[in-house]
Every structure is written in C-alpha cells, then in structure tokens.
C-alpha cells in the first residue's frame, strides 16, 4: 500500500445499563487497544479509535470516539468501517445486555432479583458486512483450550489474525500492563509472545499487520 493506511481500533469494555445506577461490564482497562492505536499512529498511519468507558486517557489519534454500550460501539464502528484498511477489535465487548432498561432505580425487594439478558450483536461480523477492510484482527480472551478456541473464532469471524490470551494467568491480561499472547493466522501459524508489555505486543501485532498489507 503506497498511501498511509487507516486503522480503525476499538478498545476497552462496553457498559450495558440495567437502571440509572447499575450496569453490566468487565474489567478491561483499554490498555491493549490504546497501545495498538498509539503504535499505529507512531508509524504514520491514520488512526480512528473507538473506546468504551476506560479509566485511562486515550492516546492522541486522528479521531477518537468514546462510546458506552456494545450497540453504540457497533454504530461507531460501522460508521467508520468504509474508511478503514485495517480493523483491530481489541475491545472487550459485552456479549449480553439486559433485555430491558429500568428508568427508575430498581428497588431492593424481599427476595432475589433475576435479570433477563439478550445477546448483543457481533460487531466484527456486522461491520464486515458493510465493508471488509484489507486486514481484520480479533482478540480472544479464553479460560481454557486457548489455541483451539482461538482458531474456531478466527475461522468463524473470518479474521486474518487473532490474538489469543489465557485470562487465568496471574498478573497478566485484564487491567495489567503485561500479557502473554499467541497470534494465530489463516495459514495455521502460531506466534507465541511470552510475558511482556502491552506496548511490545502492539509492536508485534502491527509488524504482522504491515506484512499482510504489504503482501
Ligand atoms: O467470541 P468472542 O467474544 O470471544 O470474540 C472476541 C472478538 O470478537 C474480539 O475481537 C471482540 O472485540 C469481538 N467481539 C465483537 N462483538 C461482540 C463480541 C466480541 O466484535 N459482540
């Protein structure tokens, strides 16, 4: 590619509201996606960052859009996908959201409370129906059968690369500055990256993306 590529990167968790004071979410810090966005920018790419509620300040990129729910994130991603050469879905999207939203704070009752959940749309799948970028990268956070589960996701979501990490490893992954990952590709290769900083993992991911763009 002769012109500078446009990266569309997602980061952080999504937040699915139950009532005005409660929500369902996960402990994603946004660090991995922010590191990818920062590294792509450092290499001269145009970077659009869509990020869920994260405690950290997002890096300076060309466009940064803060969102809350998975559906907000999907709208933002599908809105920008036409401009993207590369999609990196590092966000930890909530797979489920409450079936309904209570405008008033749900009062504590005598017994328990059952929440009905419905499935959120798959952002990767929906966005790629609008337009598939040249390179599509997903993440897989797994608590068992890491490589097998990651490979199934790579195939099912038609990804070029999937970055898999084992969330049961102590001191790594969600919220941490460090991770250990495996990058799987469509040719069956597995690149293992031992415990290192998320910045270094971002460097290795973008090296792989650049060689796919060049090929
Ligand atoms: O199936 P799983 O949620 O583990 O897939 C993870 C990958 O899919 C991540 O790249 C994540 O950002 C993306 N994803 C998505 N939309 C969802 C859930 C996950 O794009 N609703």
Distance 104 CA to ligand 1 centre (A): 31
The DSSP bridge partners found for residue 23 are 17
**Nearest protein Cα to ligand 1, atom 2:** 140
- Among the listed residues 2, 26, 104, 120, the single catalytic one is 26
On whether the CB atoms of residues 118 and 69 are closer than 8 A, the answer is no
The DSSP bridge partners found for residue 19 are 22
Ligand 1 atom with the shortest distance to the CA of 138: 10
Burial class (CB in 10 A: 0-12, 13-18, 19+), 129: exposed
Q: Which of 62, 66, 7, 10 is nearest to 40 (CA)?
A: 7
Say what the pLDDT of residue 102 is: 95
Say what the pLDDT of residue 170 is: 76
Say what the pLDDT of residue 167 is: 85
Distance 69 CA to ligand 1 centre (A): 13
Yes or no: domain 6-102+114-214 corresponds to CATH 3.40.50.10300 = yes
Distance 124 CA to ligand 1 centre (A): 7
DSSP letters spanning 14-42: --EEEETTEEE-----SHHHHHHHHHHHH
Say what the pLDDT of residue 33 is: 97
Residues 6+ apart with CB under 8 A from 154: 138, 161, 162, 184, 185, 186
Say what the pLDDT of residue 74 is: 98
Reported pTM: 0.96
Does ligand 1 lie within 6 Å of residue 95's CB atom? yes
Cα 215 to the center of its chain, rounded Å: 25
pLDDT digits (tens, 9 = 90+) for 148-160: 999 999 999 999 9
Burial class (CB in 10 A: 0-12, 13-18, 19+), 27: exposed
Q: Which residues of the chain have pLDDT under 70?
A: 173
pLDDT digits (tens, 9 = 90+) for 70-113: 999 999 999 999 999 999 999 999 999 999 999 999 998 878 89
149 is catalytic: no
Does ligand 1 lie within 6 Å of residue 70's CB atom? yes
**Nearest protein Cα to ligand 1, atom 9:** 139
* Residue ranges of domains in the chain: 6-102+114-214
Alpha-carbon span 190 to 203, nearest angstrom: 17
């Amino acid at each position: 590619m002769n012109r500078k590529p446009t990266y569309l990167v997602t980061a952080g968790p999504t937040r699915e509201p139950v009532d005005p004071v409660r929500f369902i979410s996960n402990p994603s810090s946004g660090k991995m996606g922010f590191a990818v966005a920062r590294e792509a920018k450092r290499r001269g790419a145009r970077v659009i960052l869509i990020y869920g509620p994260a405690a950290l300040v997002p890096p300076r990129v060309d466009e940064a859009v803060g969102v809350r729910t998975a559906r907000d994130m999907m709208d933002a991603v599908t809105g920008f996908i036409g401009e993207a050469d590369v999609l990196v879905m590092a966000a930890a999207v909530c797979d489920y959201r409450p079936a309904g939203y209570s405008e008033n704070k749900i009062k504590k009752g005598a017994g328990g409370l059952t929440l009905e959940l419905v499935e959120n749309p798959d952002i990767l799948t929906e966005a790629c129906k609008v337009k598939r970028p040249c390179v599509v990268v997903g993440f897989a956070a797994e608590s068992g059968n890491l490589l097998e589960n990651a490979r199934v996701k790579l195939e099912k979501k038609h990804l070029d690369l999937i970055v898999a990490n084992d969330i049961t490893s102590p001191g790594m992954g969600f919220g941490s500055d460090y991770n250990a990952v495996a990058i799987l590709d469509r040719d069956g290769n597995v690149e293992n990256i031992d415990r290192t900083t998320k910045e270094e993992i971002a460097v290795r991911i973008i090296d792989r993306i650049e060689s796919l763009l060049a090929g």
